[in-house]
Amino acid sequence: MATILLRAAFAGYLGGTLAFLGYLATRRHGLAKIGLGLSVAALAVHTASYGTDCAVYRAMVIVTPRGMCSLLAFVTAALTLAIAARHRLLILGAFIMPIVAILAGVAVAAPEPGTPAVVLQGPLFPLHVWTTYLGFAGFTVAFGVAVAWLVQEREIRSRHPKPLAFVLPPLDTIERLSLSLVNHALLLTGAGIVTGVLYLKQTDGVWWAWEPKATATVACWGIYAAVPVLRRTAGWRGRRLALLLVAGFVFVVFIFGGLSHLPGPLKPGPR
């Protein structure tokens, strides 16, 4: 049942992506509304899919590639839609929902989870998971916003800007949004690292384990922490800032792609 729902969610995300891209190309606001509607419906179905997986396995399904990509797609979609609705920036869907659709597609293609290895006890690990994934979702959305900034800058610098330049927000608005996303994501990811350390101490009796995913997460946090530091101390703005956010997202992809198959010290869910 969860797999069927996940496939339906993927179809909804894909349809929403195509509608948002159509809005980007044609400036027809009706397509943006269609994209929003399809994405919201997909998010609702995705909620049921992931909830069913967790209920069946009585654990947070996040250790396997399917679980990792499914949860990151879910929180990224939720964050994107919340920002688009709050700031009335439906155009952001054209830059971020394709990432959500790709993540959901990978989750659909991945094998179903096996049997949970450990039954979770206590709130620390779920708190670690949600804060970390919300942080990574913030970094993912910040990447999409940075790409929007680079596209808008190119259009503004062009002698013959395309109609796209009149759809995208001003550069200052895009930059403020990206900085706000990074600042909040840093707090959430930092909380995820701290709760992960506490959980490891509680379960294994050690404060740190030098395993790839945990180490890469800390390194990723350090890269994004450089964003506000460089902005204040070195005056980094505009293109430099956008390119740094793009580089940081490469690290996020590395963690969820290249390291997703590696085991770690936290084994709360299905292997």
2-21 tens-digit pLDDT? 789 999 999 999 999 999 99
Q: What is the pLDDT of residues 62-85, one digit of tens each?
A: 767 788 888 999 999 999 999 988
Q: What is the pLDDT of residues 132-176, one digit of tens each?
A: 999 999 999 999 999 999 999 888 888 777 777 778 888 899 999
Q: What is the pLDDT of residues 205-261, one digit of tens each?
A: 777 776 777 788 888 888 899 888 988 887 788 888 889 898 888 878 877 665 555
pLDDT value at residue 114? 62
CA nearest to 145, candidates 164, 171, 167: 171
pLDDT value at residue 266? 44
pLDDT value at residue 163? 73
Q: What is the pLDDT of residues 97-129, one digit of tens each?
A: 999 999 999 999 987 766 544 445 567 888 888
Residues whose CB is less than 8 angstroms from the CB of residue 239 and which lie 6 or more positions away in sequence, other chains included:
150, 153
Residue 177 pLDDT exceeds 80: yes
pLDDT value at residue 263? 47
CA distance 84 to 93: 7
Query: What are the residue boundaries of the structural domains of the chain, listed by start?
Result: 1-120, 122-263
Q: Which residue has the higher pLDDT, 76 or 266?
A: 76
**DSSP letter string over 175-187?**
HHHHHHHHHHHHH
Count CB atoms within 10 A of the CB of residue 267: 14
For the record, the structure tokens of 124 come out as 């620390």
Q: What is the pLDDT of residues 16-68, one digit of tens each?
A: 999 999 998 888 889 999 999 999 999 999 999 888 877 777 667 676 778 88
Contact 153, 173 (CB under 8 A): no
